Amino acid sequence: MSSTPRNIAIIGGGPAGLRAAEVAAATGAFVTVFDAKPSVGRKFLVAGKSGLNITNSADFEPFVEQYSGKDLPDDQWRKQLAAFDNTAMGKWAKSLGINTFATSGGKVFPETKKAAPILRRWVQRLREMGVDFQMNHQWLDLQKKGESIELEIECKEGVFNQDFDAIVLAMGGASWPKTGSTGKWVPILEQHGITVETLQSANCGWECDWTDETRIVAEACPLHNIHVRVGEELQIGELLITRYGLEGAPIYALAQTLRRMAAPEIVIDFKPTFTIERLVHKMESARKDFFKEAQLRWKLSMGACAIIRQLYGEIDSAQQLAKIVKACRIPLSGPRPIDEVISTSGGVAWDELDANLMLKKLPNVYCAGEMIDWEAPTGGFLMQGCFATGNSAGLAAAKVQPYLNT
């Protein structure tokens, strides 16, 4: 531990910033959290609305494989995650008096399910550790000033400057801007010569040109136990038909590939446990009303029937329908707008960061959380990535080794 306490500013009170504040304060540093909104953790609370999936119980190797990003440095990323892994996350929740449990699919939730009790206890603990919270304080810019960094911040009284030994930037991506994650930091860092990969919708629904007829029949219908393919890539799970298109984990996981396609399209196998021959056999003597018969004999859902009817028109034979059911091509018109998606891809380019997540062009300025160019599917991997990078950046800002793991 360094002998003189460091004076550290954290910009952004999401999970990444709060974890950075926590580990830095634990070293005895003076920590101030600035956030543009009236309170911290607003997206954390949104994430917890339908159950806060805080991490995943997957083993380390399959866990690490969930992450991607342009030039994501494999070794470095492994170290960040190993320094604060899913076990550490469980211990951390327990240290706040909150037990966690894993579902059979590996998703880990706090027993409280909601995020509010965790956030309340977390902020209280941070206050007890001496962390100073400055809300309604918008970061505008920074400059190197000798060994220190001078921040330019706007609050209701006006704009002021303040010096710190180190800064952790943890301002999130650009989804759900009403929670404070507006992405307004991008041009500011770009002015300092920092490369930022474009923030794009990730973990998002995709739009399909449903007709009114399809919408009337299929909106809100789930498509259970399906195989969703893009080229060689396969995702298994469930999709939900929405007013505008499709939502659900399989399509979220395929987003990276879909974004690269000029004409994005998925191929769904609605009956993955049956062969075409088996499906045809089950139709036996059916000679008409193939959709009605398929609902009865194949248990083909209403939603699937509506989609096939829109995309392929009337059906002349069981063989034709069986082929479509096994490989239904659905053109997508684009991802949902960035404002409403779960997370964004893109962010501060890896090349700009050293092994401690410090900006090479701005010494003593560190980055953490979703504002760095990594992405992951839903399932608790996003939160873990935010905590892990917050952990590393907070410790590095406090100039402490080895990494804390609590």
Helices (H) and strands (E) in the chain, counts: 15, 20
**Is residue 380 near ligand FAD by the rule CB under 6 A?**
yes
**Is residue 205 near ligand FAD by the rule CB under 6 A?**
no
Q: Strand 206-207 and strand 245-247: pairing? A: antiparallel
Which residue's CB is nearer to ligand FAD, number 303 or number 390? Answer: 390
CA angle 285, 290, 292 (to 5 degrees): 110
**Is residue 392 near ligand FAD by the rule CB under 6 A?**
no
Token couple for 95? 């240290």
Q: Which residue is nearest to ligand FAD (CB)?
A: 180
- x-or-dash pattern for ligand FAD, window 333-372, by CB under 6 A? ---------xx-------------------------xx--
Which residue's CB is nearer to ligand FAD, number 17 or number 245? Answer: 17
Asked whether 153 and 167 are in contact (CB, 8 A), the reply is: no
**Is residue 33 near ligand FAD by the rule CB under 6 A?**
no
**Is residue 375 near ligand FAD by the rule CB under 6 A?**
no
Of residues 242, 231, 170, the one with CA closest to residue 204: 242
Could you tell me which residues are beta bridge partners of residue 342?
none
Helix (H) or strand (E) holding 7: strand 7-11
Which residue's CB is nearer to ligand FAD, number 34 or number 206? Answer: 34
Which residue's CB is nearer to ligand FAD, number 43 or number 282? Answer: 43
Of residues 337, 333, 208, 210, the one with CA closest to residue 263: 333
**Is residue 85 near ligand FAD by the rule CB under 6 A?**
no
Q: Which of 279, 386, 393, 396 binds ligand FAD (CB under 6 A)?
A: 386
Of residues 45, 21, 23, 48, the one with CA closest to residue 33: 21
Query: CB of 267: closest distance to ligand FAD in angstroms?
Result: 27
Any residues with CB less than 8 A from the CB of 163 and at least 6 apart, and which? 7, 145, 148, 149, 150, 151
- x-or-dash pattern for ligand FAD, window 164-183, by CB under 6 A? ------xxx--xx---xxx-
Query: CB of 347: closest distance to ligand FAD in angstroms?
Result: 9
Which residue's CB is nearer to ligand FAD, number 310 or number 389? Answer: 389
Stretches 5-13, 22-30, 125-133, 223-231: which one binds ligand FAD (CB under 6 A)?
Answer: 5-13
Query: CB of 287: closest distance to ligand FAD in angstroms?
Result: 48
**Is residue 391 near ligand FAD by the rule CB under 6 A?**
no
Give the binding-site size for ligand FAD (rule: CB under 6 A). Answer: 39
- What does the DSSP assignment read for 12-70? --SHHHHHHHHHHHHTT-EEEEE-SSSSS-HHHHHHTTT----EE---HHHHHTT-B-T
Rounded to the nearest 10 degrees, how much is the dihedral formed by the CA atoms of 370, 374, 380, 386?
-40
- x-or-dash pattern for ligand FAD, window 12-31, by CB under 6 A? xxxxxx--------------
User: Dihedrals φ, ψ of 40, to 5°?
Assistant: -85, 165
Residue ranges binding ligand FAD (CB under 6 A): 11-17, 34-37, 40, 42-44, 46-47, 52-53, 138-139, 170-172, 175-176, 180-182, 184-185, 342-343, 369-370, 380, 382-383, 386
